[in-house]
A and B are shown apart, each in its own frame.
Chain A
Amino acid sequence: MAKIKPRVKVPKSVAAGEYFTVKTLINHKMESGQRKDKKTGKKIPRKIINYFEATFNGKPVFSVDIQPAVSSNPFFQFSMKVEEAGKLAFKWVDDDGSVYETAKSIKIG
């Protein structure tokens, strides 16, 4: 599989206390466990991202419990507000235990 690379879109600077939009995307096949291998007729085992979490300066903002019915290359969009500058960290957890992480710093102003 292609290397898994998370992508997030966050405004560089925001106004304190005002909602802004965060968009996240990670390339992942999200193998649902329902598909069959056409050659062998066996089910392809499930392998998905099962959890996504966004934290700001270590505090939880938004998280998702994910099931196989979320599309491949899972996309999530949410809105949040902050009162101070800081680091917005993102984490995706794979069925195989791998964790993919990225972070963005947010400025006020």
Chain B
Amino acid sequence: MNLSRRQALALGGAVVTVSLIPIDFAKAASDATMADIKTFTGGASVAEGGIELTTPEIAENGNTVPISVSAPGAVSIMILADGNPNPGVATFHFSDMAEPSAATRIRLAGTQNVIAVAKMADGSFTQTSRSVKVTIGGCGG
């Protein structure tokens, strides 16, 4: 590939811009994600902590990213991928025979935050999120 000096500089600038974006995204989830959380919680306030989400820090292949989640006392846990075309991933439901923990493999379209929201037996909600770097995206292609 032959790059002129001008092109090379433009490319470098683009890379810097892209690498800055995730910092802004770290806090605020997308509107679609917030809407999904609201549907799940019915508008109730969501606390932080009390739920553990395990994801790889870097996923080579966004088509199968192993994740596991556990939240003592939870009856349901919803998993969301903030940067996917549709943020919903899966919702686990636990009866009293099951331990409130589960593992699965999910698709991530790109580097993004994975969010877990747990509904506790007493009706309260708690959430956590983890950022996953994806080298090759897993949607479309």
Question: A interface vs B, CB < 8 Å?
Answer: 19, 32, 34-36, 54, 56, 59-72, 74-82
Contact = CB atoms under 8 A, between A and B. Distances in A.
A67 B88 contact: yes
For the complex of A and B, 10 pairs with smallest distance between CB atoms: A79-B99, A77-B103, A71-B105, A69-B89, A67-B88, A65-B91, A71-B64, A62-B98, A80-B98, A63-B93
B93 A69 contact: no
B104 interface: yes
Interface string B80-107: 0100111011111111011101111111
A47 B95 CA distance: 28
Pick from B63, B85, B98 the residue with the most CB of A within 10 Å: B98
Contacts, number: 97
Contacts of B44: none
Contacts of A35: 139-141
22 contacts: A19-B99, A32-B107, A60-B95, A61-B95, A62-B93, A62-B102, A64-B92, A64-B93, A64-B102, A65-B91, A67-B90, A69-B81, A69-B90, A69-B106, A70-B90, A70-B107, A77-B102, A78-B92, A78-B94, A78-B98, A78-B102, A79-B99
Give the interface SS of chain B, mostly helix, strand, loop or mixed: strand
Contacts of A77: 68, 102-104
B105 A67 contact: no
Contacts of A80: 97-99
A36 B68 CA distance: 30
A85 to B, nearest CB: 14
A69 B139 CA distance: 8
A76 B104 contact: yes
